[in-house]
């Protein structure tokens, strides 16, 4: 899920606390308003709560924000999502150069706050590999495994059993893993060393380490007592080499010059420290999204913390405007447009190939555009939902956002003369455009299937105080008959409903069943139960009648609903 709000002028409607469907967008809050931060946080909190409720358990929320509300938004997200679920803070370069419009610091960047509903369940993907990264891989010895580069055979973490010496087949010197330990198993290390033509055995060298891998029958260099093997991990043979080491060197040189080198080899043409081959075909085909990650060693866990994305990596606002101009022509009056590259990067990292992206502040439709193009180019099957209300009487969702998505699909663009032409390849995809009105009534709710009703209740349930965290319901993914979610206090939420052909009542039997489900899941009372009727009463249940309470959650008055002003003829 992605959301965009830069923290500049916005409209604030304080009726939203009691009626989220109130048609009035509210008064414009400008940057000069002394209470703008308080109003902005009150404006954002219920929306963030609803967005979290709509996320899957492994879902991600990414919010673009500028420095005006960065800290306030961060505190809100910490409160709603939990600081432990923050994936990272990304600083992206929105312009080529700083502007001369500030007496102090001129910002050329904006921020993306990335939070997960449950960080332990969320996966961060890899970015595409670059030609520069792949250029490090060569194949000077015609290795049948393909392109490779030298890599460190030593792991940074200590494993005492793997801190032994290996003897070089070129020099007879002993090589230790320094402060770390060998990455590969001892069995593999022996196989790699013997591939140089000599027989290796294990031998105790009396230095307090595990048995070394040394050439069979060869002399062993003397380890000076004062030598620290962690800081100085090489023990040289000296000028005199015995017959066995001389033969081992000749075999190794022959293999080096005429054959494919073994997976473990020695730098400086055989006379340096050991290295290991890292084959390109076995490297993850992507790069970890960390600017300080200098090599392609992705075997260890990484954590996205706080980093910067330059405009070369993520585009900039001017690019976004030019991209919009190309699709719709100039005169659209959008001053801040996120570039496609930025949105594509976010989607690639945190949305699975068949995932759904919701953009509740769709603006010019960059999110939909990015998904359509990435689906076409990468063969992914992501879907998107764009929501845009427009401002005042400006219904640009219809005349601009919808039109952009349509032209992306048809390939229509605006040429240099301002004329609409087919300038790009058409995309084999489509979309539906819906206009939301207040025709949600009791009959429509009663005709909903159970899964639809669950979605509506989880995303619209509010207690009397809409700012309470207890209003937010986390969905329970297990397949219970009635239990569907719980709140921050671990109070259970139940729906007794099976579609319009089911009466759906709370009676003694259904209560005993949901009581057992509560016990199995470990949720507590009071139990919040949605059903059509309540036959059985208990202080442990807080009852919500379908459809009346749901209409109230939606901001509709059930007393004025046409369903309640006519006889029930079903």
Question: Are 95 and 317 contacting, i.e. CB atoms less than 8 angstroms apart?
Answer: yes
Quick one: average pLDDT of 254-265?
Answer: 92
Residue for token pair 């009056």: 333
Residue for token pair 């080491």: 245
Task: Tell me if 431 is assigned to some domain.
Answer: no
Q: For residue 172, give Cα distances in angstroms to 179, 213, 220, 299, 434.
A: 22, 11, 7, 31, 76
pLDDT in tens, 501-519: 677 899 999 999 999 999 9
Statement to judge: residues 400 and 527 lie in one domain: no
Q: What is the pLDDT of residue 23?
A: 46
- Residue with the larger pLDDT of the pair 370 and 298: 370
Tokens for 469?
Answer: 């965290």
pLDDT in tens, 267-303: 999 999 999 998 887 765 555 443 222 222 323 322 3
CA distance 173 to 175: 6
Tokens for 425?
Answer: 């390849």
CA distance 265 to 261: 7
| Domain that residue 243 falls in | 131-282
Q: Please list, in sequence order, all residues whose beta carbon lies within 8 angstroms of the beta carbon of residue 183, skipping any fewer than 6 positions away.
A: 152, 153, 154, 155, 276
Task: Tell me if 330 is assigned to some domain.
Answer: yes
Task: Tell me if 437 is assigned to some domain.
Answer: no
Least confident residue range of 12-21, 275-284, 538-547: 12-21
Helix (H) or strand (E) holding 90: strand 86-93
Cβ atoms within 10 Å, residue 16: 19
Tokens for 468?
Answer: 């309470």
Q: Per-residue confidence at 237, pLDDT binned at 50, 70, 90?
A: confident
Query: How many distinct structural domains can be found in the chain?
Result: 3
Q: Among residues 226, 252, 282, which one ends one of the domains?
A: 282
Statement to judge: residues 135 and 268 lie in one domain: yes
Q: For residue 568, give Cα distances in angstroms to 225, 247, 443, 446, 562.
A: 97, 100, 10, 12, 11
Statement to judge: residues 260 and 140 lie in one domain: yes
CATH number (domain holding residue 106): 3.40.50.150
CA distance 191 to 195: 6
The answer on pLDDT for 392 being more than 70 is no
The answer on pLDDT for 305 being more than 60 is no
CA distance 560 to 264: 80
CA distance 374 to 51: 24
Statement to judge: residues 416 and 457 lie in one domain: no
pLDDT in tens, 200-229: 999 999 999 999 999 999 999 999 989 999
- Burial readout 503-530 (b: 16 or more C-beta within 10 A, e: otherwise): ebebeeebbebbbebbeeeebeeebbbb
Question: Are 77 and 63 contacting, i.e. CB atoms less than 8 angstroms apart?
Answer: yes
- Residue with the larger pLDDT of the pair 473 and 569: 473
Alpha-carbon dihedral 54, 57, 60, 65, rounded to 10 degrees = 50
Statement to judge: residues 123 and 137 lie in one domain: no
Statement to judge: residues 276 and 135 lie in one domain: yes
Statement to judge: residues 43 and 167 lie in one domain: no
pLDDT in tens, 71-105: 889 999 998 899 999 988 887 776 655 555 555 55
Cβ atoms within 10 Å, residue 71: 11
Statement to judge: residues 243 and 295 lie in one domain: no
The answer on pLDDT for 470 being more than 70 is no
| Range of 137-151, 206-220, 409-423 with top mean pLDDT | 206-220
- Residue with the larger pLDDT of the pair 373 and 40: 373
Tokens for 483?
Answer: 């239990």
The answer on pLDDT for 477 being more than 50 is yes
Statement to judge: residues 82 and 109 lie in one domain: yes
505-506 vs 533-534, strand pairing mode: parallel
Question: Are 143 and 261 contacting, i.e. CB atoms less than 8 angstroms apart?
Answer: yes
Q: Check residue 401 and report its DSSP letter.
A: I
Least confident residue range of 93-97, 108-112, 455-459: 93-97
Helix, strand, coil shares, percent, the chain, to 5: 30, 20, 50
Q: What is the pLDDT of residue 66?
A: 82
Q: Residue 308 forms beta bridges with which residues?
A: 91
With a pLDDT cut of 70, the percent of the chain lying above it is: 77
Q: What is the pLDDT of residue 405?
A: 94
Q: What is the pLDDT of residue 469?
A: 59
Q: Residue 15 forms beta bridges with which residues?
A: none
pLDDT in tens, 46-63: 788 878 888 888 999 999
pLDDT in tens, 157-193: 778 899 999 999 999 999 999 988 998 899 999 999 9
The answer on pLDDT for 567 being more than 50 is no
With a pLDDT cut of 90, the percent of the chain lying above it is: 39
Q: What is the pLDDT of residue 188?
A: 93
Statement to judge: residues 137 and 277 lie in one domain: yes
Statement to judge: residues 185 and 303 lie in one domain: no
Task: Tell me if 429 is assigned to some domain.
Answer: no
Task: Tell me if 434 is assigned to some domain.
Answer: no
Q: Among residues 365, 388, 422, which one ends one of the domains?
A: 422
Least confident residue range of 153-157, 209-213, 256-260, 464-468: 464-468
User: What is the rounded average pLDDT for all residues in the chain?
Assistant: 80
- Select from 57, 115, 113, 46 the least CA-distant residue to 84: 115
């Amino acid at each position: 899920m992605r959301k965009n709000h830069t923290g500049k002028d916005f409209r604030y409607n304080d009726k939203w606390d009691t009626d989220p469907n109130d048609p009035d967008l509210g008064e414009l809050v400008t940057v000069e308003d002394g209470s703008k931060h308080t109003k902005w946080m009150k404006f954002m909190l219920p929306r963030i709560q609803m967005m979290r409720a709509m996320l899957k358990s492994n879902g991600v929320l990414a919010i673009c924000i500028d420095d005006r509300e960065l800290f306030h938004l961060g505190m809100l997200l910490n409160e709603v999502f939990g600081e432990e679920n923050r994936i990272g803070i990304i600083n992206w370069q929105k312009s080529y150069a700083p502007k001369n419009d500030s007496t102090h610091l001129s910002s050329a960047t904006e921020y993306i706050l990335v939070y997960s509903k449950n960080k332990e369940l969320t996966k961060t993907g890899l970015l595409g590999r670059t030609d520069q990264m792949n250029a490090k891989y060569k194949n000077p010895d015609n290795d049948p495994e393909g392109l490779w580069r030298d890599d460190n055979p030593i792991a940074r973490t200590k494993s005492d059993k793997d801190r032994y010496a290996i003897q070089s087949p070129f020099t007879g010197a002993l090589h230790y893993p320094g402060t770390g330990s060998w990455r590969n198993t001892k069995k593999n290390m022996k196989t790699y060393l013997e591939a140089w033509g000599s027989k290796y055995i294990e031998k105790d060298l009396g230095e307090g380490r595990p048995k070394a891998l040394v050439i069979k029958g060869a002399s062993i260099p003397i380890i000076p007592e004062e030598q620290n093997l962690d800081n100085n991990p090489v023990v040289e043979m000296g000028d005199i080499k015995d017959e066995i080491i001389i033969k081992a060197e000749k075999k190794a040189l022959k293999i080096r010059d005429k054959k494919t080198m073994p997976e473990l080899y020695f730098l400086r043409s055989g006379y340096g420290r050991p290295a290991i081959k890292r084959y390109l075909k076995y490297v993850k085909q992507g790069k970890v999204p960390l600017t300080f990650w200098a090599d392609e060693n992705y075997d260890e866990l990484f954590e996205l913390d706080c980093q910067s994305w330059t405009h070369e990596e993520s585009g900039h606002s001017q690019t976004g405007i030019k991209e919009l101009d190309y699709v719709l022509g100039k005169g659209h009056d959008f001053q801040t447009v996120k570039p496609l590259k930025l949105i594509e990067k976010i989607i690639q990292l945190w949305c699975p190939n068949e995932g759904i992206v919701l953009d509740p502040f769709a603006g010019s439709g960059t999110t939909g555009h990015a998904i359509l193009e990435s689906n076409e180019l990468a063969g992914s099957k992501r879907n998107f939902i764009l929501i845009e209300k427009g401002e005042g009487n400006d219904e640009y969702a219809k005349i601009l956002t919808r039109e952009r998505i349509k032209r992306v699909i048809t390939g229509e663009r605006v040429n240099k003369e301002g004329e609409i032409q087919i300038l790009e390849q058409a995309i084999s995809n489509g979309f539906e455009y819906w206009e939301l009105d207040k025709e949600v009534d009791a009959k429509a709710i009663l005709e909903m299937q159970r899964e639809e009703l669950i979605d509506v209740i989880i995303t619209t349930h509010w207690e009397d105080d809409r700012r309470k965290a207890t209003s937010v319901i986390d969905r329970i993914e297990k397949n219970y008959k009635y239990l569907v979610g719980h709140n921050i206090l671990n109070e259970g939420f139940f729906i007794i409903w099976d579609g319009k052909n089911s009466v759906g009542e709370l009676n003694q039997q259904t209560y005993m069943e949901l009581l057992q489900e509560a016990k199995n899941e470990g949720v507590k009372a009071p139990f919040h139960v949605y059903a059509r009727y309540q036959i059985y009463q208990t202080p442990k249940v807080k009852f919500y009648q379908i459809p009346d309470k749901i209409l109230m959650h939606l901001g509709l008055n059930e007393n004025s609903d046409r369903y309640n002003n006519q006889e029930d003829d079903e």
